[in-house]
Amino acid sequence: MVSEKDFPYIGKNLMGNRFNAAFPPNEQRYGTAYGGYPNNARQVLFYDFAVQGYDVEFKYDGDVYHLLYEPDHCALCDEQYTEEIESFPNPMDLIKNLRIKGHRLIEIVDDLEDVEPE
């Protein structure tokens, strides 16, 4: 995990805990199994990656992808996290705009497999 950065989409609840205000969790609707999200993929991308600053690995349509979090940008990377393939100014821009096999990541988030913070 990289040190915390306060991007505009990061909010704080009454307890002072950070959360993704652009895609907030909803424990009343989804429970607590995935931190208030309907599945693991959404929890890892919207919270672990976008708020906590963890790198992420996932599979889509048989291929493995790696997302790098740095304090000043985020990127789709090679498997060693050494070569940046495409970069974005922040995690939410990456989630909303990264195209994988012709689809935006935000559109296929529920189809991702083996989504894990690194």
SS3 assignment, position 102? coil
pLDDT of residue 56: 98
In a domain, 85, yes or no: yes
pTM value?
0.92
In a domain, 65, yes or no: yes
In a domain, 4, yes or no: no
pLDDT of residue 6: 75
Q: Which residues of the chain have pLDDT under 70?
A: 1-5
pLDDT of residue 7: 87
The number of folded domains in the chain is 1
pLDDT of residue 32: 93
pLDDT of residue 5: 65
Q: Which of 40, 19, 18, 45 is nearest to 30 (CA)?
A: 40
In a domain, 30, yes or no: no
In a domain, 14, yes or no: no
Measured in whole angstroms, the distance separating CA 83 from the mean position of its chain's CA atoms is: 19
In a domain, 88, yes or no: yes
Question: What range does the domain containing 102 cover?
Answer: 39-117
In a domain, 26, yes or no: no
pLDDT of residue 3: 46
Residue-wise pLDDT for 71-92, tens only, equals 899 999 999 999 999 999 999 9
Could you give phi then psi for residue 50, rounded to 5 degrees? -75, -30
* Cβ proximity of 113 and 73 under 8 Å: no
In a domain, 9, yes or no: no
